[in-house]
Chain A
Amino acid sequence: MNHFGKKGSKGFIYAILSIYALITLVPFLWAISTSFKPLAEIVQGGFSIIPKSFTLDNYKTVFAQEPLFPRWLMNSVLIAASVTLLNLLLNSMAGYALARITFFGSKFWFFLILAVLMIPFQVTLIPSYLLLKWFSLLNTYEGLIIPGMVNATYIFMMRQFFLGFPTEMEEAAFMDGMGRWGIFFKLVMPLAKPALAAQAIFIFLGAWNDFLRPLIIMSANEMFTLPLGLSTFRGEYISFTNLIMAASMMFTIPAMLLYIFFNRYFVRGITFTGTK
């Protein structure tokens, strides 16, 4: 529905949309452009978005000056990828069980998941840290991956998704003597791709961008994920904005590509998580 009336107000709406698009884009363009400028040009100041003397040196210098940078990148990729794959599998399994299988106590587990949805993670932060310390999982990949490998929000989302699935095919497969595991992996999961895609993008971005958990769990420099690495890097290279921006862009671009690629699933997921 058009709130602003007919043709005359089109211009007004476009003005609003464009101004905010500009507000959103300028900081990013400014950061990208800074990452291709030599330091001397940055220090001079000025507004030019297009670098006067374009250079790739900043990117090379990041790798040369900060030998841990590739390691941080690898840590981030490894952790985000493992967390995403495990969540996709385990949340779907739990969601499927809660939607389709009648088992003893299934109502109880469903209400438990709903209750867990309400619990803010800050309250579990300190005890989880102490538990991980007790399990000797501090400063390890497992320490970040294991506690994050299921997520109540997406279990709930998958349950809702599977409830809307037609049951006929599953019934037929049942009659043919297929077991639950066979049905789940051969029939259900392949048809759940849109829901899995929405889940994947949210979980990946969440793990990729997470700051507080790695900050607490990883104390050795070589175990840092990139967001932690970047904030350390900033401390050491405070006046080298060119390097800080180059490092930031290398971290941001994979997430941006993923987002642009899976955009329609992303919007669907936001609507779901926002109104659950």
Chain B
Amino acid sequence: MKGILGNRRAKENIAGYSFMFPTIVIIGTFVILPILYALFLSFNKVTLLGGVNYDFVGLKNFNRMIDDDKVWISLKNTAKYVLIVVPCQTMLALILAAALNAKLRGRNFFRTVYFLPTITSSAVLTLIFVWILNNNGLLNELLGMLHFPTHNWLAEPAVALFGVMLMNIYSTAPGFMVIYLASMQDISHNIYESAEIDGANAWTKFWKITVPLLKPVTFFVVVLGVIGSFQVFDQAYIVSRGDGGPNNSTLTIVLLIYKYAFKNLDMGYASALALLLAIVIMLFTLVQRKLFGDEKN
């Protein structure tokens, strides 16, 4: 009997590792090894001349950030971005979810339509927006017709970032909407019914019941939104053709890392920046998991 059990255990070990083998190799080579490599790169000056050369420089890469204007500009852009995009996308997602949750006829159609920007490639979406926001584009025609001031949206530093923000709100809000929707469906009907007996109208029910009960979800959505804002790249790259212009107004943190690593080939410094970004993002993720996990239990 023991022999058979031992045999089965050995077979299960072999099966387990053969099922996991490709995953272990790929994650080992392209996630774990790169993390260690990134740590190493962050403390070196890296030069790419045919081969790759490393010069240990200690904390120099990290000290350099403090005096690097570009870093501060990209942080400022990201802060602006978080302050505008996160509240907008959260409110939009909440409003749309509440409207869809009314279970009216045709809601599947609406939901399907709302996701179009999410499934469209950032390259295409950006090209469409560039076309709508350009000097004689659709937006200016509309504004002109209504006698509002027009802008050359993506060429003026003061408004270029807004173009990028608009695209992001447009493509991320539907995902958050579905998260809200799933949680709204978990709210018990009884709460609303007893509120109705007390004479609450739709407006009060929404603000006094739905919104407070969704607080943990809102927190979750806000943190995801902040993390997403730290990672903006595609739209900023395509709008500015890779340089973060005009006048650094669309320079995001990831675009800056890209420029240092692949334009200036300064991979040590770029790795140090990426490492710090990753640590910040992971801190947000941890806080979110801690709080959201607790709420769930």
A residues apposed to B, CB below 8 Å: 1-5, 9-10, 13-14, 16-17, 20-21, 24-28, 30-31, 34, 45-47, 90-91, 93-94, 96-98, 101-104, 106, 109, 112-113, 116, 118-120, 122-131, 133-134, 146-147, 149-150, 152, 155, 179-181, 184, 205, 208-209, 211-212, 215-216, 226-228, 230-231, 234-235, 241, 244-245, 248, 251-252, 255-256, 259-260, 263, 266-267, 270-271, 274-275
- What is the CA–CA distance of A209 and B113 in the complex, to the nearest angstrom? 19
Q: How many B residues have CB within 8 A of the partner chain? A: 102
A211 touches B237 (CB 8 A): yes
* Residues A227 and B110 in contact in the complex (CB < 8 Å), given A93-B19, A109-B20, A245-B131: no
B184 touches A1 (CB 8 A): yes
A256 touches B13 (CB 8 A): no
B13 touches A4 (CB 8 A): no
* Residues A131 and B179 in contact in the complex (CB < 8 Å), given A102-B12, A123-B274, A211-B234: no
Selected from A16, A94, A270, the residue in CB contact (under 8 A) with B99 is A16
- What is the CA–CA distance of A184 and B19 in the complex, to the nearest angstrom? 10
When distances are taken between beta carbons in the complex, the residues of chain B under 8 Å from A256 are 116, 119-120
Min CB gap B119→A, angstroms = 5
Query: Nearest chain-B residue to A212 (Cβ)?
Result: B233
- What is the CA–CA distance of A106 and B17 in the complex, to the nearest angstrom? 9
A216 touches B241 (CB 8 A): no
- What is the CA–CA distance of A271 and B88 in the complex, to the nearest angstrom? 21
B38 touches A126 (CB 8 A): yes
- What is the CA–CA distance of A106 and B16 in the complex, to the nearest angstrom? 8
Min CB gap A10→B, angstroms = 6
Query: Nearest chain-A residue to B271 (Cβ)?
Result: A126
B100 touches A17 (CB 8 A): yes
Other 12 A-B pairs with CB < 8 A, given A30-B132, A101-B19:
A4-B206, A34-B131, A101-B16, A103-B20, A124-B31, A130-B267, A131-B33, A149-B26, A215-B237, A227-B123, A245-B131, A255-B119
Chain B 184-212, CB-CB to A under 8 Å as 1, else 0, gives: 10010100100000000111011000100
B271 touches A127 (CB 8 A): yes
- What is the CA–CA distance of A234 and B237 in the complex, to the nearest angstrom? 13
Selected from A94, A124, A179, A244, the residue in CB contact (under 8 A) with B34 is A124
B178 in the interface (beta carbon within 8 A): yes
Query: Can you give 28 A-B contacts (C-beta < 8 A)?
Result: A4-B99, A17-B110, A20-B92, A24-B114, A27-B128, A91-B23, A94-B22, A104-B16, A109-B24, A118-B286, A119-B31, A123-B35, A123-B38, A124-B30, A124-B31, A125-B257, A125-B274, A127-B37, A127-B271, A128-B34, A131-B30, A216-B258, A248-B123, A248-B127, A251-B124, A274-B175, A274-B224, A275-B179
B96 in the interface (beta carbon within 8 A): yes
Min CB gap A128→B, angstroms = 5
- What is the CA–CA distance of A32 and B111 in the complex, to the nearest angstrom? 21
* Residues A119 and B282 in contact in the complex (CB < 8 Å), given A3-B202, A227-B122: yes
- What is the CA–CA distance of A274 and B180 in the complex, to the nearest angstrom? 10
Residue pairs across A and B with CB atoms within 8 Å: the count is 291
Min CB gap A126→B, angstroms = 5
When distances are taken between beta carbons in the complex, the residues of chain B under 8 Å from A150 are 22-23, 26-27
Of the candidate stretches B77-85, B101-109, B154-162, B243-251, the one touching chain A is B101-109
B182 in the interface (beta carbon within 8 A): yes
B112 touches A211 (CB 8 A): no
Selected from A9, A120, A179, A228, the residue in CB contact (under 8 A) with B15 is A179
* Residues A1 and B277 in contact in the complex (CB < 8 Å), given A211-B121, A252-B124, A270-B178: no
- What is the CA–CA distance of A119 and B98 in the complex, to the nearest angstrom? 33
Ranked nearest first, the 9 interchain pairs of A and B with the lowest CB-CB distance are: A103-B16, A5-B202, A123-B278, A127-B34, A127-B37, A227-B123, A97-B19, A209-B121, A124-B34
Min CB gap B63→A, angstroms = 19
- What is the CA–CA distance of A208 and B123 in the complex, to the nearest angstrom? 11
- What is the CA–CA distance of A191 and B53 in the complex, to the nearest angstrom? 52
B165 in the interface (beta carbon within 8 A): no
Selected from B92, B121, B136, B170, the residue in CB contact (under 8 A) with A227 is B121
B117 touches A24 (CB 8 A): yes
B23 touches A180 (CB 8 A): no
- What is the CA–CA distance of A129 and B262 in the complex, to the nearest angstrom? 10
- What is the CA–CA distance of A235 and B19 in the complex, to the nearest angstrom? 46
Query: Nearest chain-B residue to A122 (Cβ)?
Result: B274
B111 touches A267 (CB 8 A): yes
